[in-house]
Amino acid sequence: MLPRDKPVLVTSALPYVNGECHIGHLRTYVPADVYVRMLRKMGYNVIFISGSDTHGTPIVLSAESQGVTPDVVVERYHEHFKRIFEALNLDFDYYGRTDSPANHRMTEEIVKRLIEGGYVYRKNTKQAYCETCNRFLPDRYVEGICPHCGAVARGDECDQGCGKHIEPGEILEPRCKICGSKAVFREQEHFFFRLSAFADFLSSYLDNLGGTLNARNYAREWVKRELRDWCITRNLEWGVKFPGRDDLVVYVWVDAPIGYISFTEELLRERGVDGDEWARYWKNNGATIVHFIGTDIIYHHCIFWPAMLKGADYSLPDAVVASGMVKIEGKTFSKSRGIVVWAKEFIERFHPDTLRYYLLTQSSHTKELDFSWDSFFMRVNNELVAILGNLIYRVLTFTYKNFGVVPEGEIEEEVRTAIETARDGVLSAMAEYEFKKLVDAAMGLADFGNSYFQREEPWHLIKGDENARRRCGTILKNVLQILKSVCVLLEPVMPAKMAELWYQLGMDTDVHDTKLEELMKPIESGQKLNKPKVLFRRIEVDKNRGV
């Protein structure tokens, strides 16, 4: 587990704000949120940050095609993402944007340190140029053939083939993305980050990096093969200016992760903490830093980023947790081909908590998640409705009708054991970053609750003599204790629904602030229950299929 004596800084990958939020994004952000909420329940001091990634050529291209400036595009989608995240209860302490003055400052500072450290040099390099448009064509302004695998690729990334990063000047058969003409290569001076100098550092760093194996292993392979220096400047207006050069901005993958640092600074300033407190998190290893990302950006987070931090003498991330990619009904996710599920449309039709639950349980965190509507309906109907919802509603209506309050009685040994088993399952899932296991452990307790309730038949006992009625009360108190525990364990997974359950149980505290110690505290006899309401409703499969 993470050390107890330091604060934990958890980040989730920055969404690139040139389009709407889809479930591919949420596949990373929802588990990060669950992780943070559970760490808080475990008593950790946690800061959770993210923000919009606002620079780079795709945004400039969108803006040009719409006849607006890049900040108009950024503003629109930045607000969109914030609304979606609020609706899904992603509980960021701070959600910033990388075009903020603080991030410009922090980026300049780090680039200057890299220059002073001798890690940046200038070199003439070939850059794609369009003679029709009379301009250089950085990154997404150019398309062509991947030099590694031969697939059609974007200027900076082989997005449909091998997935590799493509350096400026490397793409074959370049074409201008604006006018379609064949591009030529022209020499131009650019600045390079000496990534090759970090090979030894990176291989020992990766040996000790926490998080998931997929991130570590993928990055190790890269380091073993080759680490080429990395061109970190672009001919663009939109971005963070390279120090001393008005005609160049830094590559978006330089200033994007630096957002993690400047958002920490912005958050602490917002909280009124003294100016240099952010340095506790990002210098001198004063915090445990955990990054949640998708597997498509392992390279950037496990190679570029730690090398940059090391070169500038900042703290290094302690763990990188990489979620598998998302497929839709067995097909590779693709916005351009319409193989996508939009977050906004989803949560207009179904409760956000059901989406959170689904994303966590449909596959192991590091494996590919194949979304299908049928599997979603099945998880809601067979698990949330049939197991959890059913237990909650049966127990609460029965107790509410016959007692109105939590009855007298002792918590039984087998119930204590079942709760402890669920808690231990959750804790080991946290240590492994396996959120499906985490939910399964909590749902296992609900399962136990169902069979315990069924076995003890309180509906017979309630009609019996005084002893039988007393026994009935004890049974119900025990099942209510199970419900209370399930509620605490599932709050990180379904925060809105569990707040409703907490209320129905008559608890007067805030379930979001509840710690795990609460699991073993008996629910108080005499506590008034609130009128039960159905928490999860069946989805009518035929009406909802195929949309």
Least distance between Zn ion and beta carbon 219 (Å) = 18
Residue 102: CB minimum distance to Zn ion, A: 36
Residue 129 or 433: the one with the smaller Cβ distance to Zn ion is 129
Name which position in 7, 19, 117, 161 contacts Zn ion (CB under 5 A). 161
How many residues line the site for Zn ion (CB under 5 A)? 14
Q: How far is the CB of 146 from Zn ion (least distance, A)?
A: 3
Applying CB under 5 A, the span of 44-52, 162-170, 224-232, 424-432 interacting with Zn ion comes to: 162-170
Q: Based on the shown chain and the rule CB under 5 A, indicate whether residue 451 belongs to the binding site for Zn ion.
A: no
Residue 210 binding Zn ion, by CB under 5 A: no
d(CA 138, CA 178): 12
C-beta of 132 vs 196, nearer to Zn ion: 132
Minimum Å gap between C-beta 126 and Zn ion is 17
Selected binder of Zn ion within 120, 146, 461, 493 (CB under 5 A):
146
Task: Report the 10 Å Cβ neighbour count for 519.
Answer: 22
Contact yes or no for 370/327 (Cβ under 8 A): yes
Which is nearer to Zn ion, 87 or 178 (by Cβ)?
Answer: 178
Q: Alpha-carbon distance 368 to 485, whole Å? A: 31
Q: Which positions from 171 through 200 interact with Zn ion, judged by CB under 5 A?
A: 176, 178-179, 181
Per CB under 5 A, the segment of 54-62, 170-178, 486-494, 506-514 that binds Zn ion is: 170-178
Name the residue nearer to Zn ion (CB basis): 171 or 419: 171
Which residue lies nearer to Zn ion by CB, 222 or 342? 222
532 φ, ψ (degrees, to nearest 5): -65, 145
Tokens of 376: 């979603």
149 is a contact residue toward Zn ion (CB under 5 A) = yes
> Considering the complex, what minimum distance in angstroms separates the CB of residue 236 from Zn ion?
15
Structure tokens at 19: 């389009």
Residue 164: CB minimum distance to Zn ion, A: 5
158 binds Zn ion, rule: CB under 5 A: yes
> Which one, 178 or 387, has the nearer CB to Zn ion?
178
In sequence order, which residues have a C-beta less than 8 Å from that of residue 450 and are 6 or more positions away?
387, 390, 391
| Smallest separation, CB 150 to Zn ion (Å) | 7
Q: What minimum distance in Å lies between the beta carbon of 199 and Zn ion?
A: 23
Tell me if 148 contacts Zn ion by CB under 5 A: yes
Cβ closer to Zn ion: 179 or 534?
179
Contact region with Zn ion (CB under 5 A), list: 45-53, 144-152, 240-248, 525-533: 144-152
Tokens of 49: 């940050």
**20: Cβ contacts below 8 Å, ≥ 6 apart:** 77, 80, 342, 343, 344
Shortest Å, Cβ 341 to Zn ion? 27
The full length of the chain comes to: 547
Distances (CA, A) of 320 to 93, 204, 288, 364, 409: 20, 15, 11, 16, 46
Q: Which is nearer to Zn ion, 76 or 148 (CB)?
A: 148
* Single-letter amino acid code for the residue at 189: E
Which of 40, 154 has the CB closer to Zn ion? 154
Decide whether 155 or 449 has the Cβ nearer to Zn ion: 155
> H or E stretch including 420?
helix 413-432
Piece of 158-166, 354-362, 415-423, 453-461 that binds Zn ion (CB under 5 A):
158-166
Site string for Zn ion, 264-283 (x = CB under 5 A): --------------------
- State the nearest-atom distance from the C-beta of 215 to Zn ion, in Å: 21
Q: Which two tokens stand for residue 180?
A: 């379609």
Query: Based on CB atoms, which residue is closest to Zn ion, 153 or 472?
Result: 153
Instruction: Single out the segment in contact with Zn ion by CB under 5 A; choices: 25-33, 142-150, 358-366, 499-507.
Output: 142-150
Strand-pairing partners, residue 233, are 250
Query: CA–CA separation, 393 vs 42, rounded Å?
Result: 28
Q: What is each CA distance from 540 to 298, 373, 378, 536, in whole angstroms?
A: 39, 12, 11, 13
Q: Kindly state whether residue 65 participates in binding Zn ion, applying the rule CB under 5 A.
A: no
Distances (CA, A) of 56 to 75, 240, 261: 15, 10, 19
With 0-12 / 13-18 / 19 or more C-beta atoms within 10 angstroms meaning exposed / middle / buried, residue 41 is buried
Query: Helix or strand or coil: residue 190?
Result: strand
Residue number, 181 or 217, with CB nearest to Zn ion:
181
What's the rounded Cα separation, in Å, for the pair 44 and 27? 24
Q: Residue 319: phi, psi to the nearest 5?
A: -150, 140
Q: Provide, rounded to whole angstroms, the least separation between the CB of residue 423 and Zn ion.
A: 46
Cβ proximity to Zn ion: between 76 and 126 the closer is 126
DSSP string, 340-388: --BHHHHHHHS-HHHHHHHHHHSS-TTS-EEE-HHHHHHIIIIIIIIII
Pairwise CA distance, residues 31 & 8, whole Å: 16
Per-position x/- string for 109-138, each x denoting binding to Zn ion as judged by CB under 5 A, each - no binding? ---------------------x-xx-----
Q: Report the nearest approach of Zn ion to the CB of residue 149 (Å).
A: 3
For the chain, how long is the longest CA-to-CA vector?
95
- Interface residues with Zn ion (CB under 5 A) are 130, 132-133, 146, 148-149, 151, 158, 161-162, 176, 178-179, 181
